[in-house]
Amino acid sequence: MCSKPIPILLSPSARCYCCFLLQRTPLHFQTMRRSLNPLLQLSSTPLRHCQSLSFGSLHSSSRIEGFLKSRGGAFHRLEFSCAYRSKGLRMSYNGSDSSSAPSVVARKPSISFCQSCGGQTKQVIPDGEERTRAVCTICGKIHYENPKMVVGCLVEHNGKVLLCKRKIQPSYGFWTLPAGFMEIGESALEGASRETLEEACAEVEGLSPFAQIDIPRIGQVYLIFRAKLKTPNFSPGSESLECQLFSPEDIPFDSLAFSSIIVTLRMYVEDIKAGNLKFHYCTINKRRGASMTDPNGFDVDYLSPS
Ligand SMILES: [Zn+2]
């Protein structure tokens, strides 16, 4: 095992109480402790017990593993890489309470270069903040990464819903609702209408919000509107192989593109059966070990309307 220090970078995920991402960015121990306590849901006292582990200079995976076990099973996964080794190391620790822990794994930061000066960024916790950010090593600009909004339409026509078969990756050849990233300068409603026009060449009207679905793991928020066709015309746009209307009982649940679409259509079919269409809010959490392209590797937390 490498004898050089392995500095630590905490997971940027707000929901993650069980994962570390250890990288090469050095952090002062006080910063580490301040950040670790809320992450581990500990007061400062239990962590003082671990000071002998000397977080600023962890040396081996066995010492890190020892720390995890000493915390009584609050973790289920640990990833780290050593600045002095060419290859990152991974290990898992299945704690006793890991089943109740959110299955969230730290994401790799996506901003590598400064958007102002082009300098390289590094992940640090800026003064006065609690999370790591991509900070420019040249000009010091802090780059904030926030969730993206995906907007789309569940188009109803003669008791059927309009689905598009994807002509692009990811999930090429799988069915989806017309939806995509919202653009600056448009409302969610305008974005959903635009995506439906682009993907299904369909003009819609009478939009009403049907579901908000948060996916913290990938930093996305879906807002899906129910809508009606302005005219009974639709055809595949440039991102679709084909477009088709499906009765609720014929929706191809085995070949839907994304977890968000599966969840939306499940809720829709249940509402139709119950004769009560309402607004839904829920959160999708990817299951531990599930790939991001596995549309069934997830759990859903529903917030029932009071
Ligand atoms: Zn810069």
Higher pLDDT, 114 or 43: 114
Name which of 79-88, 189-198, 295-304 the model is least confident about.
79-88
Band (197; pLDDT cuts 50, 70, 90): very high
From 234, 237, 281, 291, select the one nearest 260 (Cα to Cα). 281
pLDDT in tens, 130-154: 889 999 999 999 999 999 999 999 9
What separation in Å is there between the alpha carbon of 127 and the centre of ligand 1? 17
Q: pLDDT above 90 covers what percent of the chain?
A: 55
Mean pLDDT calculated for residue range 63-69: 52
What separation in Å is there between the alpha carbon of 285 and the centre of ligand 1? 34
What separation in Å is there between the alpha carbon of 120 and the centre of ligand 1? 7
What separation in Å is there between the alpha carbon of 119 and the centre of ligand 1? 5
What separation in Å is there between the alpha carbon of 143 and the centre of ligand 1? 9
Tell me what the pLDDT averaged over the chain comes to.
Answer: 73
Is the pLDDT at 285 greater than 60? The verdict is: yes
Higher pLDDT, 206 or 95: 206
Mean pLDDT calculated for residue range 26-31: 39
pLDDT in tens, 159-191: 999 999 999 999 999 999 999 999 999 999 999
Reading phi first (left if > 0) and then psi (alpha if -120 to 50, else beta), residue 36 is in alpha
What separation in Å is there between the alpha carbon of 116 and the centre of ligand 1? 5
Band (236; pLDDT cuts 50, 70, 90): very high
CB 78 within 8 A of CB 19: yes
Band (108; pLDDT cuts 50, 70, 90): low
What separation in Å is there between the alpha carbon of 77 and the centre of ligand 1? 33
pLDDT of residue 69: 53
First CA to last CA distance, the chain: 55
Torsion of CA 142, 143, 147, 151, to 10 degrees: 130
What separation in Å is there between the alpha carbon of 44 and the centre of ligand 1? 35
What separation in Å is there between the alpha carbon of 133 and the centre of ligand 1? 13
Domain limits, the chain: 9-108, 148-303
What separation in Å is there between the alpha carbon of 223 and the centre of ligand 1? 34
Band (274; pLDDT cuts 50, 70, 90): very high
Mean pLDDT calculated for residue range 239-249: 97
What separation in Å is there between the alpha carbon of 166 and the centre of ligand 1? 38
Band (305; pLDDT cuts 50, 70, 90): low
What separation in Å is there between the alpha carbon of 126 and the centre of ligand 1? 15
The CATH number of 148-303, from 3.30.43.10, 3.40.50.300, 3.90.79.10, 3.30.40.230, is 3.90.79.10
The rounded distance, in Å, linking the Cα atoms of 254 and 214 is 22
pLDDT in tens, 72-94: 433 333 333 322 222 333 333 33
Name which of 97-111, 252-266, 277-291 the model is least confident about.
97-111
